[in-house]
Structure 1
Amino acid sequence: MITLGAVASAHGVHGQFKVKPFTVVPSDVAAYGPVRLEDGRVLQLTVKSVVKNLVICEANGITDRGMAESLRGQTLSVDRAALPDLDETHTYHADLIGLGVQDTAGQQLGIVVGLYEFGAGEIVEISLAGSNKTELYPFYPPFLVDLNILEGKIVLAEQPASDDKGPDNRVDGDD
């Protein structure tokens, strides 16, 4: 199952609700057919509008505010097969979870446990081999050297050591 979004809150009194989308195009939370909730229910969503990065939706059988409030926090998922195939230059984040990560010398770093977009580029979270720790790495060139889903591996270049200098070459805290 691929998670497309999560219900944030009820909207109004007629059963509409707000969805925090995890899709590139917010309205795509309803583009791939019926969605499955964590509790097993299946809903057919209709997008009413997109407001401030939230999608206002209606769904079959959700007719009042109380019913909409009961959805709060539930994730909305579809079968992987419902999503369109991508060209070779694109991947779904879900396809990267669990892949092995190594550095350019072939040293195993760990496995992918998450991917995040913070505005300045994608970041990959790696569960480090031989420890309980995770670490965040840039997930874009020049740090992303190779991505091979068929071989189940990602190669990342070593991150430059942080010297705590900002973009103006001053150490943080200097005036």
Structure 2
Amino acid sequence: MLNDRVLVGKFGAAHGVRGEVRLKSYTGDPKAIGSYKPLHDAAGTRQFTIESLRHLKDDLFVARIQGVRDRSIAESLTNLDLYVDRKALPAAGEDEFYLADLVGLAAVSETGKTAGAIVAVHNFGGGDILEIAPAAGGATLLVAFTKENVPRVDVAGGRLTLRPPAEVEAEAPADDDFDRSASDEHAARASET
């Protein structure tokens, strides 16, 4: 299942007084975001064209956006996600996929049992995280998108193999008079596992 639009960046704070804005790029080559035209907001109702980019660091730029010429307009763009039409992106290579391709895939165990479906892919700065709606219903699950947790992705087959990490469960103390030495012993045992 392919999505019509792919998240490629996000506007940050206004930069200066002439309408420039900070821009975080999510593209493989961060500077490539400047070549995608037009960019859209999440609803697809607003379009943006990058006129120029100045590199700040890593995947962060200062951008001049067509039609944005003062700070107040630039400030109104803060935290706006930027999308590009899927057809504007190059085709994924063999054994490659866009993270957007994961949304809608079935999450199955190594034995083939369906665990749920991928409803979103998030990244809060510590790596990609899959949000999975369980097949049995209930609250969604969050699983780090790592090779260990997801050993196989089959976009064409509409599924990925999910090997969730083992949960770590702490033992609750027997009563409220739990003494410090028992707490220290419990912590030592937990750190050994």
TM-score (norm 1): 0.81
Match of 1:42 in 2: 47
Structure 1 vs Structure 2 CA RMSD:
2.7
Of 40-49 and 118-127, deviating more is 118-127
Instruction: Give the length in aligned residue pairs.
Output: 170
Q: Which SS does the other structure have where 1:85 is aligned? A: coil
Cα 1:80–1:118, aligned 2, differ >3 Å: closer, same or farther? same
Aligned partner of 2:88 in structure 1 is: 82
Instruction: Give deviations 1:5-32, integer Å, cap 9, x for gaps.
Output: 1212111011100123232333232222
Partner in structure 2 of residue 157 of structure 1: 163
Instruction: Pick closer, same or farther for the CA change 1:11–1:118 going to 2, 3 Å.
Output: closer
The residue aligned with 2:36 is: 32
- Cα distance change, pair 52–84 in 1 and its aligned pair in 2 (3 A): closer
Distance 1:11 1:22, change over 3 A: same
Q: Decide whether the 8 Å contact of 1:26 with 1:50 is kept in 2.
A: no
Quote the Cα distance in structure 2 between the aligned partners of 1:102 and 1:86. 23
> Displacement of 1:172 after TM fit?
5.5
Q: Distance in 1 between matches of 2:20 and 2:27?
A: 20
Q: How far apart are the structure 2 equivalents of 1:124 and 1:16?
A: 33
- 2:121 corresponding residue in structure 1: 115
Identity %: 29
**TM-score normalised per structure 2:** 0.75
- Contact 1:5/1:21 (<8 A) preserved: yes
Shift of 1:71: 1.6
Mapped to 2, the partners of 1:88 and 1:52 lie a distance apart of: 27
Deviates more, 1:67-76 or 1:96-105: 67-76
Could you tell me which residue of structure 1 aligns to residue 26 of structure 2?
22
* Aligned counterpart, 2:145: 139
Deviations 1:81-138 (A, max 9, x none): 1111121222111111111111012211111123345777643221111223122224
Structure with the larger helix share: 2
State the partner residue of 2:182: none
Q: 1:69 to 1:142 in 2, by over 3 A?
A: closer
Pick the structure with more strand per residue.
Answer: 1
* 1:171, distance to aligned residue in structure 2 (A): 4.5
CA distance in 2, matches of 1:142, 1:173: 21
